[in-house]
Structure 1
């Protein structure tokens, strides 16, 4: 029998442990029809103030390249990234698929291509329907009612608005004087606080918080990039969600969280914690190397994902524009 929310609260106050099986998805404070979660923190006023302080003389690209053999999640049998040519200049002459004839096809060099991939490939954002608890996703939308053969009818990737918000890169590796965190390193709340102090930066409610482990330096080597990646731990997640009030949390690795799980009965506790229990979208494979090299920690984060209807994630091409000054943007 599931515990009620009151019982869960009382258990927490009395010091009792709440098991993974007792955890439940959260109600949205923005109402029973809300599909955006913490993305509701964006306002026109915040965007106007932010863009007024951006230094457009430098723009940093935070995305990775897509290529055959790139790092990708395959543990559950998901497809790798593939690209193939559908039309080539020589092939157009031979096939004459448009009926233009040899002379015109030799003059007009036609190239076309197609791609296929898992939606969680490359730099991407996880929609709130990516992980849930007990058959429900954030704000109690049930899979039985809202998931059809053509995807989710709630909180799909198409609902994610363009993101324009203050971004903060937390360089955990640099704060520890290493180029890359060790294999399987589990980032703690203290690690985050120490890095922020090292960078002399404060987090503010509604930030896009991006964690650098340094793993992106081996992105071209898929096996090395994927195996034993460092990632966030549970107390770091709680700090970012409950104290820092982050709007989005991202990292430069694909696993995002450290493994093995710290919570018995849940193999991806940070994914369910951020997405289902707090309505905080997750970003993965964010390329933070150029920001780290330039020591840019505060910036205007601008990113928009593909509007893939009903999908649980979508590729994203984010950019970072440094800010002229610190403070409440």
Structure 2
């Protein structure tokens, strides 16, 4: 089924190809300037730190719906091995096999394509079996530190968790910004809380992923207008599933990653952050969300930390 005219109309309005030059591979991360980072650091007042990652574990969020995207399989390769002889210092080592998008993660700009292209109009076949992504792999995003802004859509509506059929709209984002008394500015990293991760934390892995609240196909224009550098949320699918437009799967992925060049994150645990923002009486903070520099990777696990 070809992408509908509505998708292409939105794509034209949010497209950033060539905005930072033909050679650009990081898209909206260009908006995180030295000045933005300095201002973000100035938000730190108490030093309170809030972790936002889910544990990397074998019974994690992945249920097998995406072939090959496996939860972390942790194996001990050495246990108290006296490699220099009896009585010497012993070592223990381990190894992990996992999908790079297995748990809390960033999607690289090459995670999806549409119409045969990736961000900045490059051919989709530059993502190869042996080398991974030739352009815009996650390794091209060496640092992601900026002001983080929590848009607590659920709390703004007086809810602990959004209903599974709720598509987060631009109006919802405005309402959450007003609720948090925060103005989203260019270079910000926006975290959108739906409360859906509570389903996983309660032990319902299947119910966590489908059906799920998530971002509406109309929200990319909101992020584009506000100059958002990156966005993450607390769901498996990121966008509303089942989709708003019948047959149009993952349109928000395509608009963010391909058209805008804006990385996005999934499976972020925003529950403790919601509590901290309420206690601190502010919804902006310094956010460190450094990607692991997998060469050619189309995603990466991340352990984000909000600092107040």
State whether TM-score is above 0.5. Answer: yes
Q: Cα offset for 1:76?
A: 2.5
Q: Give runs of ≥4 in structure 1 deviating > 4 Å.
A: 19-26
Work out whether residues 20 and 265 of structure 1, in 8 Å CA contact, stay in contact via their aligned partners in 2.
no
Q: Which residue of 1 aligns with 2:57?
A: 67
Work out whether residues 20 and 264 of structure 1, in 8 Å CA contact, stay in contact via their aligned partners in 2.
no
* Partner residue of 1:57 out of 47, 54, 67: 47
Is 1:195 paired with 2:176? yes
What is the aligned residue count? Answer: 296
Deviation by residue 1:261-309 (Cα, 9 ceiling, x = unmatched): 2345531100001111111110111121122112241111112110000
Is 1:18 paired with 2:5? yes
Gaps of 5+ in 1: 3-16, 323-329
* Partner residue of 2:210 out of 227, 237, 243: 227
1:63-142 correspondence to structure 2 within 5 Å: 63-72=53-62, 74-78=64-68, 79-89=70-80, 92=81, 98=83, 100=85, 103-104=86-87, 108-142=89-123
Q: Which residue of 2 aligns with 1:262?
A: 244
Alpha carbons of 1:41 and 1:21: their partners in 2 closer, same or farther (altered >3 Å)? closer
1:1-329 correspondence to structure 2 within 5 Å: 18-20=5-7, 27-72=17-62, 74-78=64-68, 79-89=70-80, 92=81, 98=83, 100=85, 103-104=86-87, 108-145=89-126, 147=128, 149-220=130-201, 221=203, 222-241=205-224, 243-263=225-245, 266-294=248-276, 295=278, 296-322=282-308
Alpha carbons of 1:176 and 1:145: their partners in 2 closer, same or farther (altered >3 Å)? closer
Q: Cα offset for 1:254?
A: 1.5
Work out whether residues 72 and 81 of structure 1, in 8 Å CA contact, stay in contact via their aligned partners in 2.
no
Alpha carbons of 1:206 and 1:84: their partners in 2 closer, same or farther (altered >3 Å)? same
Secondary structure of the residue aligned to 2:218 is helix
Secondary structure of the residue aligned to 1:111 is strand
TM-score in terms of structure 2 length: 0.88
Cα distance in 2 between the residues matched to 1:57 and 1:80: 32
CA radius of gyration, larger in: 1
Deviation by residue 1:211-238 (Cα, 9 ceiling, x = unmatched): 0111222333223322322111112232
Deviation by residue 1:27-52 (Cα, 9 ceiling, x = unmatched): 23011110010000111122223213
Gaps of 5+ in 2: none
Work out whether residues 83 and 116 of structure 1, in 8 Å CA contact, stay in contact via their aligned partners in 2.
yes
Alpha carbons of 1:34 and 1:73: their partners in 2 closer, same or farther (altered >3 Å)? farther
